Amino acid sequence: MHSPALVALAAALLPQLPTGFTSRQLENVRDRLLERDLRSWELGTAAQALTEYSWPALSVFNVSAFPPPSPLPPSLNASDVLSIAHTVVLERPHNTLALIANEGSAADPASIGVAVLLANWTRTDRTDTSYAEAAGEQLGFLLHDVPRTESGAISHRNEQAQLWADFVYMVPPFIAYFGALQGGRGGRELLQTSYDQCRLYREALRDEGGLWRHIAHGNWQDPTHWATGNAWAAAGMLRVLQTLNHTAQAERFTRQQADLREWIDEILEASWDYQRPNGAVYNVIDDDESFTDTAATALLAAVTYRMAAITGDARHLPFANRAFNLIKDSIDEDGWLLDTTDPYTFHQPSPPGQYSPEGQAFVLLLHSAWRALSDLANE
């Protein structure tokens, strides 16, 4: 399945990998994630995390991701992921094009789109067009209705053209997945669009040195190198990279894949340069007055393990290993990830007794990435 050289490399790396989370930790983390009412991007991120954690054969990281088996075999029912898609499509008002109504963000609802497309593809009732319609309207809304910058970057917001690094995890992976399932010329155009949006966002947000600003354009900005924003961007580009790589049309996207690998690596390189001795990165990566954030640290480490499994490049593994050990030690007995940033204000620690739903999902993504690298070594 993988090249013998990559497997040999992974095997050589295996002794360096830390021991994993306990299954009790993982089940608690998952249960805490799902017991809250989640906002649109949290739902989309949860669906992706559950896919990678429980149904890795269906995630875009699997070489046989396209097309997914239909109907799904009972051992691969993806029930928790499909239940998110089901509820969202059921509750979507008829007069709204986005998957979730009344979000200021044009991008966040689209993060659920991959789960909705999976639900359509694998549905047992072939007369049910509700998922395909919901996904199609969400796509059309992004491509035709949402404001854009002069460069053509689709806005993260509905009310004005404004670019947030978060967008890269919410939208391009959905457009790419749509294109991968559609195939043909139309699918190819969508795959190219997903890449182009990553490129345009990088052009707008990347600073010298490789870190990305959080928010640019529009009537206010957040020019800080917000750790979660950098992690969203790297992780989003990674999903696009793997979607391109696993489509039937992969060979037409060789150059785009090379760019994405370089752009992901650029964020990892710049971010880990600022890793604190405890393994974390600061909430504002290059600001000494900031505080450390386990959530972004977990997602950056997840991307690092995935990239090592894809390219065999082990340069950043020691950083990811330190981060991994910190995350293992930062999960309390109920399964909450401690010491996160407040994902709603961006620039304060989560208040006492409050936690980060996306941080919970990032732990599952980190475990899934760690497991993929370990499995590769044992292939």
Ligand X SMILES: *[C@@H]1O[C@H](CO)[C@@H](O)[C@H](O)[C@H]1NC(C)=O
Span interacting with ligand X, options 70-78, 85-93, 158-166, 219-227, rule CB under 6 A: 70-78
| Helical (H) or strand (E) element with 163 | strand 163-164
Distance CA 18, CA 265 (A): 22
Residue 77 touches ligand X, criterion: CB under 6 A: yes
Name residue, tokens 């993060």.
111
Distance CA 285, CA 272 (A): 9
Region at 341 (left for phi over 0; alpha for psi -120 to 50; beta for the rest): beta
Residue 260 has a CB neighbour count (10 Å cut-off) of: 27
67: preceding bond cis by omega (within 30 degrees)? yes
Q: Which of 254, 345, 348, 354 binds ligand X (CB under 6 A)?
A: 254
Report in angstroms how near the CB of residue 228 gets to ligand X at its nearest: 26
Q: Which of 62, 149, 155, 292 binds ligand X (CB under 6 A)?
A: 62
Secondary structure class of 93 (helix, strand, coil):
coil
Q: Which of 26, 38, 107, 117 binds ligand X (CB under 6 A)?
A: 117
Residue 181 touches ligand X, criterion: CB under 6 A: yes
**What is the total count of residues that contact ligand X (CB under 6 A)?**
24
CA neighbor of 178 nearest in space, from 197, 156, 199, 193: 193
Residue 183 touches ligand X, criterion: CB under 6 A: no
Per-residue interface string for the shown chain with ligand X, residues 266-285, x marking contact by CB under 6 A? --------------------
Distance CA 243, CA 51 (A): 14
Distance CA 300, CA 75 (A): 31
End-to-end CA distance of the chain: 9
Residue 238 touches ligand X, criterion: CB under 6 A: no
Scanning residues 144 to 163, which ones bind ligand X (CB under 6 A)?
Answer: none
Sign for the CA dihedral angle at 71, 90, 188, 174 comes to negative
| Helical (H) or strand (E) element with 132 | helix 130-140
Scanning residues 285 to 344, which ones bind ligand X (CB under 6 A)?
Answer: 310-311
Report in angstroms how near the CB of residue 173 gets to ligand X at its nearest: 15
Per-residue interface string for the shown chain with ligand X, residues 78-107, x marking contact by CB under 6 A? -x----------------------------
Per-residue interface string for the shown chain with ligand X, residues 120-149, x marking contact by CB under 6 A? xx----------x--xx-------------
Report in angstroms how near the CB of residue 241 gets to ligand X at its nearest: 8
| Nearer residue to ligand X within complex by CB, 159 or 375 | 375
Residue 56 touches ligand X, criterion: CB under 6 A: yes
Q: Which of 37, 150, 208, 251 binds ligand X (CB under 6 A)?
A: 251
- With contact defined as beta carbons under 8 Å apart, do 281 and 347 qualify? no
Name residue, tokens 């899934």.
368
- Binding residues for ligand X (CB under 6 A): 56-57, 62, 64, 74-75, 77, 79, 117, 120-121, 132, 135-136, 181-182, 245, 250-251, 254, 257, 310-311, 375
